Chains A and B, each alone.
Chain A
Amino acid sequence: MTATTTTTDRTGAGARIEVRDLTKRFGSFTAVDQLSFSVEPGRITGFLGPNGAGKTTTLRMLLGLIRPTGGSATIEGQRYQDIASPMRMVGSALEATNFHPGRTGRDHLRVLAAATGIGDARVDEMLELVGIPAAARKRAGGYSMGMRQRLGLAAALLGDPKVLILDEPANGLDPEGIRWLRGFLRHLSRQGKTILVSSHMLQEVEQTVDDVVIINNGRLVKQGRMSELHGDAKTIVRTTDLDALAGALRVADVTSETQDDALVAATDDLRLIGDVALRAGLPVYELRAATTDLEALFFQLTEGTNRNLGDESAAPERDAITGQEGANG
């Protein structure tokens, strides 16, 4: 396959996800609209958007659960349902509630393991890895949200897949669990695996992801490095005479603009600004590096146009079988 030649030195550990012009209409409602993006191996990619943006519908199309109205979604160049042994290529955890309450967590994994020809030893190993070896022998009906997330993660990892697709994996985890998850995903991505993590909160994944794909109303808003989102470095400085300081900075080749009662300079060199102010004889009341307000940025990227202020699955969440009005053909 062509994709393998484009991967890095960790060829074989990960696989490329490619989404092209993906579209899904449920009746007259367009949940996903000509969406294109790609996800690279060895990196953690955040799949972001407000509730109802079409994230879950996109992931379900990628996993062969929902039929696209148009376009394609492939992994290593293949549709999910065409992959010979899908759980060995792609591990996924879509919802934390997908368990039969009368079956133990361990048996849930054993059912999936049987379908892929994986033995019980691997099942127990995964339960150990996510930290629920004893609890998994109880019926899933009594599991906490955190337990369900961990069990879902264990299920996703059963086949030692090249690609990991996790839908809102941090939901229901306590701060300790979130920290654990972050370290765990880092560890997996260092092995070269492709990791796609959806979230409706940019801050939640800020410290976890390398790349972001942001969508809204089913359309791509932004794809790029997480670091790019922070934009160019800026420094905030307050003094008595903003215009005088701006002039002095211009002489030092630093552009700046006035914002409220402060000056925002296009540099991350705090020392330079301090020196310029000193030479100009201006007192400095505040001098700090500006941090990007990611929440505001995220809102700005996705604001105003949110078509349905309801929940994520408002449109596709109909009955599993009867909700097929949008199926093509």
Chain B
Amino acid sequence: MIPAIKAELRKFFTTRLWWGMAIAMLVIGAGLAVAFGYFVTAGAESGAEGVPTGTAEQVANSVYTGGLSFGYLLTLVIGIMQIGSEYRHKTITSTLLAVPRRGQMMVAKVVALLVIGAIYGLIFLVGSVAAGALVLNAQGYSPFPSGGVFRTLALSLLVLGLWALIGLGVGILIPNQVAALLIAVAVAWIVEPIGGVLLSLWDFGRDHIVPYLPSAATQAMVNGVQQGGPDAAQPLSWWAGALVLAAYAAVLAGLGAWRTMRADIS
């Protein structure tokens, strides 16, 4: 099992994708932490109309995870490409010749993607915590008001890993890599947010569907400031959000694994 995981990691770190993504993670983490740092502190505790509200802990969380929705988009892409490029370049054949037991191959990919997610999470946090703490200090906020901030930081590593697994599932279910990338990004960034807004107009949807959408579950995990006032959907608690996102990852990666187990590779 360990050799198969090592092979998956080596696969990832021997193309140019990894360092491009690493730079992007660092820049996104730092850049959006600065942007959120000024935006959120401008009115988080003022309660003024239209500005986000939250405790000092939620303010810090929001700043450090400001770029997380860009970050998980990148690990989603990494997850898709870890399998999609195998179909595209037909390296899946040599992968399965080296590791012919397909369940083992899939577990190796899952573990490798969780590791890759955690590595990128650390890179992301190096940027966001360094830049964010400076801004929070400058704005007169405590950079680490409570232990909950550290829980959020740890959970953002998990967020990035789980979105990579969602990508793995999508990459298998849509074997055309380009189509998989376009569809996944469009769903995560356009369909889901618009759907969320529309569902919020309907009471049942707002209370029982919107909090369970992947991006809402992700936001619940990192417990940031709230926007939209009392009429907005109430987020899940952090652990429920983690369970919901893990369920998405398990279902998609599971479907992908099931399909991979049965497929003829020609």
Binding site for B on A (CB under 8 A): 56-57, 60, 63-67, 80-81, 83, 86-87, 92, 94-95, 97-104, 107-108, 110-112, 114-117, 155, 313, 316-324, 326-327
Contacts and interface: CB of A to CB of B under 8 A. Distances in A.
Contact of B100 (A56, A80, A108): A80
Interface string B225-261: 0000000000000000000000000000000000110
25 contacts: A63-B97, A63-B100, A65-B265, A65-B266, A81-B100, A83-B100, A95-B90, A98-B89, A98-B94, A102-B15, A103-B15, A111-B14, A112-B98, A115-B3, A115-B6, A115-B95, A115-B98, A316-B264, A316-B266, A320-B90, A320-B265, A321-B87, A321-B172, A321-B175, A323-B266
Nearest to A319: B175
Q: Which of B7, B89, B98, B101 has the most CB of A within 10 A?
A: B98
Closest 3 CB pairs of A and B: A316-B266, A115-B7, A107-B14
A116 B265 contact: no
A326 to B, nearest CB: 7
A98 B91 contact: yes
Interface residues of B, number: 36
Interface in B179-201: none
A98 B90 contact: yes
Contacts of A64: 96, 100
B92 A320 contact: yes
Contacts of B266: 56-57, 60, 65-66, 313, 316-318, 320, 323
A66 B262 contact: no
B69 interface: no
B230 to A, nearest CB: 47
Secondary structure dominating the interface of A: loop
B58 to A, nearest CB: 42
Given A65-B264, A322-B175, A100 B7 contact: no
A191 to B, nearest CB: 21
Interface in B96-123: 96-102
Contacts of A327: 262-264
